[in-house]
Amino acid sequence: MRHAQLLGTRAVQGIAALGVAALVATACAPGSATTPTTTPANTAPPAASSPAASPAAQSGPSTVMVRQDASLGSILTDSEGRTLYLFTRDEPNTSNCSGNCLQAWPPLIASGSPSVGSGGDTSLVGTITRDDGTMQVTYNRWPLYYYRTDENPGDTTGQNVGGNWFVLSPQGEAIGM
């Protein structure tokens, strides 16, 4: 009886190991995402159905504003008060957020020259060209993003998600990092 239990336990362990191996093989297969989009830090619940669910779809030039947040201090937002974030895995003037990452973290897109509202620094605003040809707004060379679950202007639910996403100060630095 004891031999049968041991054999049964080993069989279950073997099956579990095969399942884990299959998951690892699938995740590492050629053509699978190897960018930061595969980490839990880049995931979010499904898109909300609020107007903030598609903040990147803007027409005209984008304006970076400064807003006071009760717990974070002065932070960057767009002209509608929606919070903007930086991704610590980006490089200066280079976005490393693609694929699934963009589903959770849509970029701030400009169709013209971006501008800066009161409290911001005009010399820190710029743009980069994304792989799809769109112009993403940068601030202090950080590409700017929204967080899909921020449903209302002033929401900051993306702050410190996965230790990689942070709001920015008017000086273009991550707050709380």
The pLDDT tens digits of the residues spanning 16-28 come to 333 333 322 322 2
pLDDT tens-digit series, residues 42-58? 333 333 333 344 454 44
Region of 127 on the Ramachandran plot (φ > 0 left; ψ -120 to 50 alpha; else beta): beta
Q: Lowest mean pLDDT of 24-28, 63-67, 159-163, 164-168, name the range.
A: 24-28
- Give the strand pairing for 115-116 and 109-110: unpaired
Q: Rg of the chain's alpha carbons, rounded to an integer?
A: 21
Nearest by Cα to 116 from 48, 45, 66, 43: 66
- Give the strand pairing for 165-167 and 85-87: antiparallel
Nearest by Cα to 142 from 119, 162, 165: 165
Query: In the prediction, which pLDDT does 92 show?
Result: 97
Residue 66 has pLDDT above 90, yes or no: yes
Query: In the prediction, which pLDDT does 61 show?
Result: 61
Query: In the prediction, which pLDDT does 17 show?
Result: 37
Query: In the prediction, which pLDDT does 52 show?
Result: 40
Q: Alpha-carbon distance 14 to 45, whole Å?
A: 33
Label residue 33 by pLDDT band (50, 70, 90).
very low
**Residue scoring higher pLDDT (29 or 134):** 134
Q: How large is the average pLDDT for residues 149-163?
A: 97
Query: In the prediction, which pLDDT does 111 show?
Result: 81
pLDDT tens-digit series, residues 77-104? 999 999 999 999 999 999 999 999 999 9
> How is residue 40 annotated by DSSP?
G
Query: In the prediction, which pLDDT does 27 show?
Result: 29
Tokens for 130, please give them: 């994304």
Q: Which residues of 126-151 are buried (b: 16+ CB within 10 A; e: fewer)?
A: bbbebeeeebbbbbbebbbbbbbbbe
